[in-house]
Each structure stands twice: as structure tokens, then as C-alpha cells.
């Protein structure tokens, strides 16, 4: 991956870039927030590791400018100080995480590995046209998509490989999707499941049951695709943040 490292401490930049290079990444060095923004304009990175406190613009301000250029750019801010005002602003502005110096490189490398991983979303619906529409849309947004129309095969998908999330219709022929959700919850209690339905009134009891069981959220057909994408991105970002929080 192409990683932009931004810090006014030349030694930290060199050490970080050397470690990233040894691990097979392509580091890009910048020594101020302003230079980091220019690097993003000219050579888009996959991720940014950036100090919060630097001469000139802060890491938080630089992050805001970078995200205007690349809205979904993952930015991890690092600091040796407890600048509460900047840290609060960083969190509210969309930083993936704020980490303390010296960096925990095993955690950073695990994060980058996860960030690079091709995320798979499982769509469970008995309507082939709906499955194709979601698959085409999410594929264009960078996800891999598996589809399944038979409720009894859902757990098999989860056992086969890792799935970021499940998009589950609540009406699968004669099967109530909340029953599938119950089975998923029993074996994979933390797996994010987004339930969808085109029958808001008819499936009212199933919607409520799904929420009680622990559905991530409920969306209604016809789906607003941007809403679905935002939910999937939220799930992905929380997973990555949880990894970094453990540092």
C-alpha cells in the first residue's frame, strides 16, 4: 500500500518509512501539514499516518484539507502530547484513530493489512434482480459481494470465509429473515447484519424482533443505495477503529 507519513520530526519520518518499506509498503514522506496536503493532491495515498502538532497547520487541519480532496481517505493521527482540544476536533472530523507516540508498529501493520483486505459483503435475498443490483453497486464501491437466496445456506457462507457484513432480507419466500438472523446471532454474536424489507407494515413484528436480536440497522426497499453504502462504510470504519483502539 502507498502510505503517506507526515511529521516535522525527520527521524520519526525516516524510521516509520524504513519499517513500512521493509514490510512491503510504499511510504511517502512529508514534513509538514501543508506538504502532506500537496502530496495527497499529486500522489493519492491509500492511508495517512500524521502527527497532530506541527509548525504551520495542525494535523487535524491538514486532515480536513486532505479529506476534501479524497473524502474516504483513512487518516490515523499520532501525538506525543495530550492536546485535548485538537484530539476532540480530530475525532469529530473523521480521524480513524488517535495513537500515542512511539507508535505500536505491530498494531499499525495489522491495521494496514486489514485496510488492504478485500472486504466481502454477503447479500441474502430471494430476488435475483435485487441481488444483482446490490452486487453491481457495492462492487463499484470496492467491495466483493457474495449472494445467497437459500436461507439454510447462510451459515455455510460465514464458515467458508470472513464476511464484513450481511445484508439480509426479512422476507425470504416462506422463511422469516428474523429466523436467519437468530441463527447468525447464535453462532456469530458480533457479526453486523443489516436487515432490509419492502414490507414495512406487514413485517412490523419481524422488524422489531430483528432489532431486539441485534440487527445493525433496518433499511427499507426501494433502497437508497448511498444510504446502504454509508452503513457498510460505517461498519468497516468501526472495525478498523476497534483494532487501533486496542493500541
pLDDT tens-digit series, residues 38-52: 999 999 999 999 999
* Band of pLDDT at residue 91, cut at 50, 70 and 90: confident
* Spatial separation of the C-alpha atoms in residues 4 and 137, rounded to whole Å: 29
CATH: 3.40.50.2300, 3.20.80.10, 3.40.50.12780, 3.40.50.300. Which one for 2-116? 3.40.50.2300
* Spatial separation of the C-alpha atoms in residues 143 and 228, rounded to whole Å: 13
Nearest to 158 by CA among 131, 186, 179: 186
* Spatial separation of the C-alpha atoms in residues 244 and 63, rounded to whole Å: 18
pLDDT of residue 35: 98
Superfamily grouping for domain 120-239: Response regulator (3.40.50.2300)
Higher pLDDT, 149 or 73: 149
Helix (H, G, I), strand (E, B) or coil at 102: coil
Other Cβ atoms closer than 10 A to 156: 10
Share of the chain above pLDDT 90, in %: 68
Report whether pLDDT(106) > 50: yes
pLDDT of residue 115: 78
* Band of pLDDT at residue 247, cut at 50, 70 and 90: very low
Same CATH fold, 120-239 and 2-116?
yes
Nearest to 202 by CA among 168, 153, 154, 169: 169
Helix (H, G, I), strand (E, B) or coil at 130: helix
Give me the residue spans of the domains in the chain: 2-116, 120-239
Other Cβ atoms closer than 10 A to 78: 23
Report whether pLDDT(227) > 60: yes
pLDDT tens-digit series, residues 163-181: 999 999 999 999 999 999 9
> Is the whole model's pTM more than 0.85, yes or no?
no
Amino acid at each position: 500500500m502507498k502510505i503517506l507519513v507526515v511529521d516535522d520530526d525527520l527521524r520519526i519520518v525516516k524510521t516509520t518509512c524504513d519499517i513500512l518499506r521493509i514490510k512491503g509498503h510504499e511510504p511517502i514522506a512529508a514534513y509538514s501539514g501543508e506538504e502532506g496536503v500537496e502530496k495527497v493532491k499529486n500522489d493519492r495515498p491509500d492511508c495517512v499516518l500524521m502527527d497532530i502538532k506541527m509548525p504551520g497547520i495542525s494535523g487535524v487541519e491538514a486532515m480536513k484539507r486532505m479529506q476534501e480532496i479524497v473524502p474516504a481517505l483513512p487518516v490515523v493521527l499520532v501525538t506525543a502530547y495530550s492536546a485535548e482540544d485538537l484530539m476532540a476536533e480530530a475525532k469529530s472530523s473523521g480521524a480513524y484513530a488517535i495513537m500515542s507516540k512511539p507508535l505500536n508498529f505491530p498494531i499499525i501493520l495489522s491495521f494496514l493489512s486489514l485496510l488492504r483486505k478485500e472486504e466481502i459483503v454477503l447479500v441474502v435475498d430471494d430476488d435475483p434482480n435485487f441481488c444483482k443490483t446490490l452486487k453491481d453497486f457495492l462492487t463499484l464501491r470496492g467491495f466483493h459481494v457474495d449472494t445467497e437466496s437459500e436461507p439454510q445456506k447462510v451459515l455455510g457462507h460465514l464458515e467458508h470465509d470472513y464476511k464484513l457484513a450481511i445484508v439480509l432480507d426479512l422476507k425470504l419466500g416462506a422463511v422469516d429473515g428474523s429466523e436467519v438472523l437468530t441463527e447468525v446471532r447464535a453462532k456469530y454474536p458480533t457479526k453486523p447484519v443489516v436487515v432490509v424489507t419492502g414490507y414495512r407494515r406487514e413485517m412490523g413484528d419481524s422488524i422489531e424482533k430483528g432489532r431486539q436480536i441485534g440487527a445493525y440497522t433496518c433499511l427499507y426497499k426501494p433502497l437508497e443505495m448511498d444510504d446502504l453504502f454509508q452503513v457498510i462504510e460505517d461498519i468497516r470504519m468501526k472495525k478498523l477503529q476497534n483494532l487501533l483502539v486496542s493500541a
